[in-house]
A and B are shown apart, each in its own frame.
Chain A
Amino acid sequence: MNPLVRKSLVIAAVILLLHAALALPFPGIAGLSARHWATGMGEVLVIVPSILVLIGLFDAWVPREVVARNLGTDSGLRGIAFAVLLGTGAAGPVYAAFPIALTLREKGARTANLVIFLGAWATIKLPMLMMESAYLGTRFAMLRLVMTLPGIIACGFAMERLERPAPVDA
């Protein structure tokens, strides 16, 4: 059996055993936790496989130079705008973005744009903005957006200075 499949099965078995053990003294908590787990995995399973297939296609069809040109060291303002748009347009929690960001990095995106992409993906999505307005008020949502976006861009460039990975190409 594939070692990764075996590892997943072992982890699932351990989690189920833990819930069974927890269910003896606290059936309510165990049941709730198991339901949250199932919901969480369900969310992951409806989103992540499609994303992985899209990344696979991206990896097979988009040449390195295209990514490097649009998100690389010399991409400038266009690179930032591109990273924000790429992040806001997508769906799913931020951990769904990690494999995408990794592919972008391998194809030559600069660190600042990666961090901007992850930040935009995490916290400023247009449909989410409508939801935020609905729950907490338009003023709240707009103010948070206006403050967060420059912060994310600043974080990107600060991180690029601090994190020097092994150079991808000379």
Chain B
Amino acid sequence: MFPFVLMALAAGGVAVSAWQDRARTRAALAYAIKAGLNLLPSLLAMTAAIGLAMALIPASVIARLFQSHGTLGFLLLSGLGALLTIPGPIAYPLAGSLHRMGASLPALASFITTLTMVGLLTSPLEIKAFGRRFTVLRQGFSLALALLVGALMGVVL
């Protein structure tokens, strides 16, 4: 659904822009193509790395690991979440099935937060855009925030 809204927006935008100003629109499209070609090698490698990681670690093994409650399960889930970046539509069903398999809610809160905010496998893309220092700082802070949210959830829930 969202991808189609985005495509419609992009197509509509190009149409309006071309109607207003041909040259500017051509510059905008050239920018998009250049940026896309720049991203493509990293995107190919990153999706392959995530695919391999997901294939090597089957869901049943993950579930067995995370049935261990307490600090170990908490850190395992947070660590796995920090490694991968998975978009929400995949992350939430995954978290839901882990919950049914016995993972604790505080660990899942930390898992979802690291899963969506921290991604060691996607960090090359971030370093390319913002540099190493920004990336390390942002991911470090996000990881700390995720652990804190998870720990607080343990207190509140």
Contacts and interface: CB of A to CB of B under 8 A. Distances in A.
Interface residues of A, number: 75
Interface string A139-170: 11001100110011001001100110100000
Given A7-B41, A46-B3, A36 B130 contact: no
- The interface residues of chain A, by DSSP majority, are classed as helix
Given A11-B41, A41-B47, A48-B43, A91 B129 contact: no
A54 B6 contact: yes
A35 B141 CA distance: 33
Interface stretch (A69-77, A78-86, A130-138): A130-138
A15 B38 contact: no
29 contacts: A4-B37, A8-B40, A15-B44, A33-B52, A35-B51, A37-B52, A41-B44, A43-B87, A47-B3, A50-B7, A53-B13, A53-B28, A54-B6, A55-B31, A95-B43, A95-B122, A101-B130, A102-B130, A105-B130, A123-B113, A125-B88, A128-B89, A131-B92, A134-B96, A136-B95, A136-B99, A147-B153, A148-B145, A151-B145
A94 interface: yes
B39 A48 contact: yes
A11 B142 CA distance: 30
Interface string B14-49: 100100000011011111110111111101111110
Contact of B129 (A12, A50, A99): A99
Interface residues of B, number: 76
Contacts of B40: 4-5, 8
Closest 9 CB pairs of A and B: A36-B51, A135-B96, A40-B47, A91-B2, A33-B55, A56-B28, A37-B51, A56-B32, A32-B55
B145 A50 contact: no
Given A56-B31, A93-B86, A122-B142, 4 more contacts: A4-B38, A15-B44, A57-B14, A159-B141
A158 B119 contact: no
Contacts of B56: 29, 33
Nearest to A151: B145
Interface of B: 2-3, 5-7, 9-10, 13-14, 17, 24-25, 27-33, 35-41, 43-48, 50-52, 54-56, 85-89, 92-93, 95-96, 99, 105, 108-109, 112-113, 116-117, 119, 122, 125-126, 128-131, 133-134, 137-138, 141-142, 145, 148-149, 152-153, 156-157
A31 to B, nearest CB: 8
Given A94-B122, A128-B92, A11 B54 contact: no
Interface of A: 2, 4-5, 7-8, 11-12, 15, 29-30, 32-41, 43-44, 46-57, 59-61, 91-95, 98-99, 101-102, 105, 111, 115, 118-119, 122-123, 125, 127-128, 131-132, 134-136, 139-140, 143-144, 147-148, 151-152, 155, 158-159, 162-163, 165
